[in-house]
Chain A
Amino acid sequence: MCLSVPARIVSIDGKMADVSVGGTIFKAGLHMVENVRVGDYILIHAGFAIQKISDKEAQETLKLLKELNDLQNE
């Protein structure tokens, strides 16, 4: 029920956006997020964007996991 999926903003019209999840387009309310633009990724849940995804943090997590990987392989 609390499942949210990453979706890319395709277009914005006022408080509503069309967002793409792997090519499927959904409507998402932008009432709860600020400073979002076309191309940004948000988490969509029950028709609303509930959070903008931080690309910087996403890359940090992957970097950390890869470092852990390298540690293993040394």
Chain B
Amino acid sequence: MNNRGLKYIDEYRDKDLVLNLINHIKKSATHNYVFMEVCGGHTSAIHRFGIPSLLPGNIRLISGPGCPVCVTGTDFIDKAIIYSKKEEVIITTFGDLIRVPGSASSLEKEKAMGADIRIVFSGLEALDIARMNPDRKVIFLGIGFETTAPGTAVTIKLAREKGIKNFWLLCAHKVMPPAMEAIIKAGTKLDGFICPGHVATITGSVAFKFIPEKHNMGCVITGFEPSDILQAILMLIRQVNRKAPDVEIQYTRAVTASGNTIAQRNLSEIFEHCNTRWRGFGMIPSSGLKLQKEYEDFDAEKIMPVEISYNEDNPLCICGDILRGLKTPPECSLFKVACSPENPIGACMVSNEGTCNSYYKYLHNE
């Protein structure tokens, strides 16, 4: 994509603003700070723009669990693969998921062997495929956090309104705040969170208030351009220095305190919270979304149940520790040796927003 002349992007990449923010950060950073970005989009932006190399040595950024592809378990991929082997099924998925390894194969490999797996840009496209193929069973792979899940909710509502009977959801949608609480409870040493800007467009800043209130830790909801990220780091440093943890919004052009209430309404109409497994964390209470009873007729697993046998992930892969901010990719014996974006072993290497992928692409020589 040509980024030249993009409004609301270019202005926030201005070199002078960035250099000036760095100067302010250097002056304000009087001791050591560790901040975690929980959104994979931030991980990718931070490395793409070389932000760690601009920061003074006493500020460390660590990556959290914020890439839905990375935290989706191999069991989800295995289930999707079983469905894809059924003659009558069309699997529709976001492109992010297609190369993620299951326990024995991937959707990409199954597609190469003839399975009908189609990459879609949105749930609406998947619904169109169902409408145009009334003799086939179309399954949409629902992954993503609060940013993505409302779109799935709208799609399910439209499927019902339009009477489309050959469309089902295989659901692995998750919500972010319980995972942030799990990180705090796991004892990861942190001074604050760079909070996910696009999740927060939906949830509003209110969803993160429990972090300063219950855990005495600061939060800044942050945009995705270099000056956004640096401004957020400066705001976090000032919160720590003042000993006044709070939820501040840096990304005010898109985020409000209450968020997108229409999207929230769609979510609560269609989904309910459930306990769900996160790669690297195990079960996190109330961190998943599942279809409400009234919409169970759209649940692929209810209508066409499948059995999978659980297989262990590669025991050398440390994606789990990386997702919890405990280790960095160079500490993994597979990193750049057996595991690369061309031949990923762990999910953190597959996704463009995975920590290992970002390290591989942008910190290749470290």
Interface residues of A (CB under 8 A from B): 1-6, 8, 21-24, 26-27, 29, 31-34, 41, 43, 45-48, 50-51, 53-55, 57-58, 60-62, 65-66, 68-69, 72
Q: Are A3 and B125 in contact (CB under 8 A)?
A: no
Residue ranges of B at the interface with A (Cβ–Cβ < 8 Å): 1-9, 11-12, 16-17, 20-21, 23-24, 39-41, 44, 66-69, 94, 96, 121-125, 143-145, 147-148, 150-151, 154, 196, 198-199, 201-202, 224, 227, 231, 250, 252-255, 260, 262-263, 266, 351, 353
CA distance A62 to B6 in the complex (A): 15
Cβ of B12: which chain A residues have Cβ within 8 Å of it?
A: 61-62
Known: A2-B68, A32-B263. A61 touches B252 (CB 8 A): yes
Instruction: Determine the distance from Cα of A66 to Cα of B148 in the docked complex, in whole angstroms.
Output: 34
Cβ A29 vs Cβ B148 within 8 A: no
Chain A minimum-CB-distance residue to B24? A68
Q: Can you list 19 A-B pairs, Cβ within 8 angstroms, ordered by A?
A: A1-B41, A1-B68, A1-B145, A2-B148, A5-B9, A21-B6, A22-B1, A32-B263, A34-B262, A45-B151, A46-B123, A46-B144, A48-B151, A53-B8, A58-B253, A60-B252, A62-B12, A65-B227, A68-B21
| B157 closest partner in A (C-beta) | A31
For the complex, give the distance between the alpha carbons of A16 and B112 in Å. 33
Q: Report yes or no: B147 in contact with A50, Cβ–Cβ below 8 A.
A: yes
Pairs A-B, 4 closest by C-beta atoms:
A47-B122, A58-B253, A6-B8, A57-B252
The CA-CA distance from A11 to B263 in the complex, in Å, is 22
Q: How far is the CA of A68 from the CA of B123 in the complex (A)?
A: 43
- Main SS of chain A's interface residues? mixed
Smallest CB–CB gap between A70 and chain B, Å?
Answer: 9
CA distance A15 to B245 in the complex (A): 41
Contacts of B41 in A (CB 8 A): 1-3
- Decide: A72 and B94 in contact? CB cutoff 8 A: no
Question: Judging by beta carbons under 8 Å apart, are A62 and B11 in contact?
Answer: yes
Residues of B within 8 A of A21 (CB): 1, 6
Name the A residues within 8 Å of B3 (CB-CB): 22
Query: Which residues of chain B come closer than 8 Å to A69, judged between CB atoms?
Result: 16-17, 20
When distances are taken between beta carbons in the complex, the residues of chain A under 8 Å from B69 are 1
> Do the beta carbons of A47 and B39 come within 8 Å of each other?
no
Whether B121 and A26, one on each chain, are in contact in the complex, defined by CB atoms closer than 8 angstroms, is yes
Interface-central residue, B6, B196, B250, by most chain A CB under 10 Å: B6
Whether B24 lies near A47 (C-beta < 8 A) is no
Given A6-B6, A46-B123, A47-B151: A1 and B96 interface contact (C-beta under 8 Å): yes
Does the CB pair A3–B198 fall under 8 Å? yes
Residues on the A chain within 8 Å of B4, using CB: 22
In the complex, how many angstroms separate the beta carbon of A47 from the nearest chain B beta carbon?
2
The interface residues of chain B lying within 8 Å CB-to-CB of A47 are 121-125, 151
| Bound complex: CA A25 to CA B31 (Å) | 47
**Pick the contact of A32 from B44, B266, B351 — CB < 8 Å?**
B266
- Note all chain B residues with C-beta closer than 8 A to A45: 147-148, 151, 198
User: Do residues A46 and B68 form an inter-chain contact, with CB atoms below 8 A?
Assistant: no
A46 to B253, CA, bound (A): 20
Residues in chain A near residue B145, CB distance under 8 A: 1-2
Looking at the assembled complex, report how far the CB atom of A48 sits from the nearest CB atom of chain B, in whole angstroms: 4
State which of A2, A8, A50, A65 has its C-beta within 8 Å of the C-beta of B39. Answer: A2
State in angstroms the CA–CA spacing of A22 and B1 once bound together: 8
Give chain A residues whose Cβ lies under 8 Å from the Cβ of B9: 5-6
B145 to chain A, nearest CB (A): 6
Quick check: B263 and A68 within 8 Å, CB to CB? no
Report chain A residues within 8 Å CB of B11: 58, 62
Q: Which residues of chain B are near A54, meaning CB under 8 Å?
A: 252-254
Chain A residues whose CB sits within 8 angstroms of the CB of B148 once the complex forms: 1-2, 45-46
List residues of chain B with CB within 8 A of the CB of A46.
94, 121-123, 144, 147-148, 151
Task: Give Cα distance in the complex from A43 to B69, angstroms.
Answer: 21
Most B CB contacts (10 A, CB to CB) among A1, A31, A32, A62 go to: A1
